[in-house]
Structure 1
Amino acid sequence: MSRDGVLVLGEALIDLVPEPGRPEALRAQSGGAPANVATGLARLGTPVSFAGTLGGDAFARSIERRLTDAGVDLSLCGRSPLPTTLAVADPGPEGTAYHFHTDRTATFQLPDRTADVPRFGAVYVGGLAAVVEPAASVVAATARTAARGGLLAVDPNVREDRTLATGTHLGVLRALCEAAHLVKASDEDLTRLWPGRDPDASCRELAHEGRLVVMTRGARGSTAYTAAGAVVTVPAAPVDVVNTIGAGDAFMAAVLSWLAAESWRLDPPADRAEAMLGHASQVAASVCGRPGTEPSAPAAR
Structure 2
Amino acid sequence: MTEAPGAAPGPEPGSGAVLVMGEALIDLVPVAGDAQEHRAQPGGAPANVATGLARLATPSWFAGALGNDGFARSIERRLVSAGVELGLCVRPELPTALAVADPGPQGTGYHFHLLRTATFQLPERTDVERFAAVYVGGLAAVVEPAASAVATTARAAAAGGPLLVVDPNVREDRTLDAAGGAEKLRELCELGQVVKASDEDLAHLWPDSTPDETCRRLAAGGALVVLTRGSRGSTAYTGSAEPVSVPAVPVEVVNTIGAGDAFMAAMITWLVLDGVQPGGGVRELGRAQALEMLGFASRVAASVVAQAGTEPSLAQARV
Alpha-carbon deviation of 1:230? Answer: 3.5
> Higher mean Cα deviation, 265-274 or 164-173?
265-274
Given candidates 253, 266, 290, the residue that maps to 1:241 is: 253
Given candidates 37, 49, 66, the residue that maps to 1:37 is: 49
- The equivalent of 1:271 in structure 2 is 288
- Amino acid paired to 2:299: Q
- The equivalent of 1:133 in structure 2 is 144
Superposed, which structure 2 residues align to 1:1-301 within 5 Å? 1-114=13-126, 116-150=127-161, 151-264=163-276, 265-266=281-282, 267-297=284-314, 298=316, 300=318
Contact 2:249/2:298 (8 A) holds in 1: yes
Contact 1:77/1:111 (8 A) holds in 2: no
Any gaps of 5 or more consecutive residues in structure 1? Answer: none
Contact 1:40/1:250 (8 A) holds in 2: yes
- Amino acid paired to 1:194: W
Q: What is the CA deviation profile of residues 77-107 of structure 1, one whole-angstrom value per residue up to 9, with x for unaligned ones?
A: 1111200000000111111110110100000
Q: Helix, strand or coil for the counterpart of 2:159?
A: helix
- Which whole-Å CA distance do the structure 2 matches of 1:293 and 1:23 have between them? 20
- Which whole-Å CA distance do the structure 1 matches of 2:46 and 2:243 have between them? 27
- Which whole-Å CA distance do the structure 2 matches of 1:20 and 1:191 have between them? 31
- Which whole-Å CA distance do the structure 1 matches of 2:292 and 2:317 have between them? 14
Q: Helix, strand or coil for the counterpart of 2:86?
A: coil
Contact 1:76/1:113 (8 A) holds in 2: no
RMSD of aligned C-alpha atoms? 1.0
Task: Provide the identity percentage.
Answer: 66
Relative to structure 1, is the Cα distance of residues 51 and 242 closer, same or farther in structure 2, using a 3 angstrom cutoff? same
- TM-score, structure 2 as length reference: 0.92
- Which whole-Å CA distance do the structure 1 matches of 2:139 and 2:196 have between them? 16
Q: Helix, strand or coil for the counterpart of 1:99?
A: strand
Q: What is the CA deviation profile of residues 27-74 of structure 1, one whole-angstrom value per residue up to 9, with x for unaligned ones?
A: 000000000000000000111100000000000000001001000000
- Amino acid paired to 1:73: E
- Which whole-Å CA distance do the structure 2 matches of 1:230 and 1:181 have between them? 18
- Which whole-Å CA distance do the structure 2 matches of 1:296 and 1:55 have between them? 28
Alpha-carbon deviation of 1:196? Answer: 2.8
Contact 2:303/2:317 (8 A) holds in 1: no
Contact 1:224/1:277 (8 A) holds in 2: yes
Q: What is the CA deviation profile of residues 151-172 of structure 1, one whole-angstrom value per residue up to 9, with x for unaligned ones?
A: 2110000000000010111011
Contact 2:299/2:317 (8 A) holds in 1: no
Q: Helix, strand or coil for the counterpart of 1:53?
A: coil
- TM-score, structure 1 as length reference: 0.98
Q: Helix, strand or coil for the counterpart of 2:38?
A: strand
Structure 1's consecutive aligned runs of 4 or more residues displaced over 6 angstroms after TM superposition are none
Q: Helix, strand or coil for the counterpart of 2:275?
A: coil
- Which whole-Å CA distance do the structure 2 matches of 1:270 and 1:168 have between them? 36
- Which whole-Å CA distance do the structure 1 matches of 2:194 and 2:267 have between them? 10
